[in-house]
Amino acid sequence: MSYTINKPKTETNNIRKAVYAGSFYPANKEKLVETIKNLINKTKQNPPNLPTNKKLKALIFPHAGYIYSGLTAAYSASLLKKESFDEVILMGPDHKIGFKNCSISSADAYQTPLGQIPLNKDKIKSLTDNSEIFQYIKASDTTEHSLEVILPFLITALKKFKLIPIVMGNGNILEYAPALNRIADKNSLIVASADLSHYLDYDQAVKKDKKTIKNILDLNSEQLIKGQNNTCGIIPILTLIEIAKKNNWTPVFLHYSNSGDTAGNKDQVVGYGAIAFYENAEEKSEQNKKKLLLKLARETIESQLEKTVDKPDKNLEAELKKHPPFNKIAGTFVTLHINNRLRGCIGNIVSDIPIIEGVKSNAINAAFKDTRFAPLTKKELDITNIEISLLTEPKPLIYKDENDLISKLKHNKYGVILRKGIKSATFLPQVWDQLPEPKNFLSHLCAKAGLPPNAWIKDKPDIFIYKAEHFEE
């Protein structure tokens, strides 16, 4: 099926109507309020075991008709009564059109029987500007139900918030997640709209959905992809899992049911799950500081592209300088990726400047001075993922022979510097993920240094090792 990418409308009072009111959920305001109230009250009969003193960050909601999935959806909604969020980033799957990447509404607000929900136009613009990943597709916006059916629950619980509605088609989840993680802040709730298995018999569905829920709780994307069995909303779920892993959020099971439990027969059922994601309070402060350092790197690159004097934000630098570890002198690397492909990597193994200044300098170097690549463009920056590595001081590795060297490297995965005469090169610890065999790792490192691949055997070069703490957007 063909579809059209449209330019966003600019007129005022551009409201996306409630298309499915009266079918998936009641159109009458009073009846809808009563329906949701009754569903949320039922959750009190079997309350989930929730963590204490931890901030709710994300939820999985089912999106079927309320007679089928309403109770499970109410379990997610019930957690919002005690929470406060300024905005909701709502991700749902494409059922109707068939398109690549993501569709975001250009409306000013979404209409519901319970009132209008304004869109966060500024953040939507930041996603869609110069982006091929986030576009406005009118046919999707006006016909998709996976977002709309969640909204009455959200407006009932949160009352007032701004919405960022995203319908996800096929595409690269590793591009979706960093972009959404960048715009999310402490007052953002992320919601994935998803149903589970489709049209299995009751017993098969329960068995299949139990595995799916376990994989979500384990943040196991690989197994989730292998065994998803037509899970409706797999892309939003996988995107949420990537965001959760970046931020070290903990998933908590809330409720499971299927249509055979509610309003359908047991021959062919659809499964529904409610899962919450909580911030780990003990790591919140450190994660936030790392996020600020990544923001500093991005704004530094933006300042060069846009020739602005207001970036990086001086308040941002002042906040980072309050964190003593970032003021110490240490080696730093900044690495850029686009579509999981290297787009620039420059750093210093040792340094004579603080980490904050090193990150700024190497962000510019990685973006514009890595001779393997053309200078980064503004359009590319929008789809670039930034990684920062903070290095410990290198120490010499004493080894007897090639077997001893392999043995000492094999189980530790250090960053490695190889030096012979005036020739040297380094691989960060992350490179072990691409070159897990020590022999292959060392051969590639020799080649990078301009030495024969077997120089690590024949020439017994000097080896230095270091550790690196790395984090990315």
pLDDT means per 10 residues, the chain with 473 residues, are: 47 82 98 98 94 92 98 97 93 94 95 97 90 91 96 96 97 92 93 96 95 95 80 94 93 97 93 95 72 94 84 86 90 93 94 95 97 94 94 94 90 88 94 91 96 95 94 90
- What's the confidence (pLDDT) of residue 11? 40
Structure confidence at residue 229 (pLDDT): 60
d(CA 177, CA 244): 9
Cα–Cα distance measured from residue 128 to residue 150, given in angstroms and rounded to the nearest whole number? 23
**pLDDT of 286:** 73
- Contact (CB, 8 A) for 151 and 45: no
For the beta carbon of residue 11, count every other beta carbon within 10 angstroms.
6
How far apart are alpha carbons 150 and 335 in whole angstroms? 38
Q: Which residues pair with 170 in a beta bridge?
A: 100
Angle at 448 between CA 447 and CA 452, to 5 degrees: 20
Which amino acid, 418? L
Helices 281-306 and 355-368 cross at an angle (nearest 10°) of 50
At residue 296, what are phi and psi to the nearest 5 degrees? -60, -45
Residue 3 has a pLDDT of 47
The residues, ordered by sequence, that sit 6+ positions from 165 with a Cβ below 8 Å of its Cβ are 90, 92, 104, 105, 110, 119, 147
The reply to whether omega before 251 is within 30° of 0 (cis) is: no
Domains annotated on the chain, with CATH: 15-279 (3.40.830.10), 284-390 (3.30.700.20), 395-472 (3.30.1490.150)
Q: Are 203 and 159 within 8 A, CB to CB?
A: no
The whole model's pTM is what?
A: 0.67
- Beta carbons of 36 and 137 less than 8 angstroms apart: no
The confidence score (pLDDT) of residue 6 equals: 52
Reported as type and span, the H/E element at residue 260 is helix 259-262
